[in-house]
Structure 1
């Protein structure tokens, strides 16, 4: 079934690598117009800009730090100038951290909270006036939020907070027909073996019903579903994309 994404105006934060990049390209291939943002100059940003140019459409890659108020507003201004209004917002920016609870510093705690929760808050506020009635907001969380993880209390807490953010925001924006949902991936292979030792990968695969690690394209598919017409009565939900852990 056609998801009705052609011509949609989309912004994806953290859009140059991994899940974000797969999501940006998936929307562009559907005929959407996409603004992707990134924080630092890199070959990933340059290559994404080239790929988007080859696909055609009204696409742009913007450099800004969305963990700050000024950076989020800069993104909002760029989206307004490029797209005018907005049909889909994907809050994808996020970082991981593996530190025993007793050793989590204030700096490390705030690094995860700022990237995994505050950025979604700031960007959503910055583009709120651009969202059309019936728009879709999709937050990228983690299935860890529902299970917890050793050496990841701050990561788990930040992703759990994103679920609460989703539940509260869907109530406020619902009267405008705007849907707000979270996609919660399992361990995702953004690099070979997800950057883990082989024995760790083997253990995780053994826990997964589908017998493999999540790929960025798996998550992008779920995002497109929540952004599209076939999920028009889905709001406030957390969609696990973890292969059945």
Structure 2
């Protein structure tokens, strides 16, 4: 991939799964990266080594983006290191499973804070650093448009991103800043981990393409929406779910 040579890109939640694939794809396309993580550990070190091997200028930032302080720390780091951000990818997110009648208030807030509030906090902190013609891509989920049993809070949090995207696109359109959402379906972020094999097989069989998604599938959609090929696409939600 090409077309992002020298572009200043921020990827939140960028050291695992989909976020990592997005960061690596931008690095291969020539971008300069700020990648945000919440927890230190081997995935952070591995990503740093891979970005270095790719020759990508980058900085890894540890911050809790469910808080205003964390978002402001990120903004200050971006300002000092790169002077601005051309592409912001809001990828922070968590999953959650609970019957609605058993859904605790704390669990509701945990999922909403990660999946929706973080996008507001980060975008609000960084929007002044985005030049005219920049791009914001939010990573949502296709269940936002269908709903998921045992996941009212998760579905609601991802649906919030759809409205956030549509409204913010209208506010920022005058500056030529495009705002879009990518909505992945079931994605196998770590092959062989997570879903039980029988369930994974059943879900794959429900898709038109006969397989689960891969992080690289989502990364490709993000780069499309962030790039010039999608210069007249804004306020959109692009489902990347294999036709489930």
Give the TM-score normalised by the residue count of structure 2: 0.98
Spell out, residue by residue over 1:43-82, the C-alpha distance to the aligned partner (whole angstroms, 9 max, x if none). Answer: 0001111111122232111100000000000011111111
Spell out, residue by residue over 1:197-230, the C-alpha distance to the aligned partner (whole angstroms, 9 max, x if none). Answer: 1221121111100000000000000000001110
Alignment of 1:25-44 (within 5 A): 25-44=24-43
Shift of 1:4: 2.2
CA RMSD of aligned residues (A): 1.0
User: Who is 1:202 aligned against?
Assistant: 201
Alignment partners' CA distance in 2, 1:23 and 1:192: 17
Does structure 2 retain, via aligned residues, the 8 Å contact 1:193–1:201?
no
Aligned-partner SS, 1:132: coil
Shift of 1:16: 0.2
Structure 2: runs of 5+ lacking an equivalent:
none
Does structure 1 retain, via aligned residues, the 8 Å contact 2:13–2:19?
yes
User: Who is 1:211 aligned against?
Assistant: 210
Alignment partners' CA distance in 1, 2:148 and 2:193: 16
User: Who is 1:121 aligned against?
Assistant: 120
Does structure 2 retain, via aligned residues, the 8 Å contact 1:95–1:112?
yes
Shift of 1:194: 5.4
Alignment partners' CA distance in 2, 1:20 and 1:197: 23
Alignment partners' CA distance in 1, 2:218 and 2:89: 12
Alignment partners' CA distance in 1, 2:156 and 2:14: 23
User: Who is 1:177 aligned against?
Assistant: 176
Shift of 1:139: 0.1
Aligned-partner SS, 2:132: strand
Residues 191-200 or 98-107, more deviating: 191-200
User: Who is 1:186 aligned against?
Assistant: 185
Does structure 1 retain, via aligned residues, the 8 Å contact 2:90–2:138?
yes
Alignment partners' CA distance in 2, 1:84 and 1:97: 36
User: Who is 2:105 aligned against?
Assistant: 106
Alignment partners' CA distance in 1, 2:111 and 2:56: 34
Give the TM-score normalised by the residue count of structure 1: 0.97
User: Who is 1:50 aligned against?
Assistant: 49
Aligned-partner SS, 2:36: strand
Aligned-partner SS, 1:180: strand
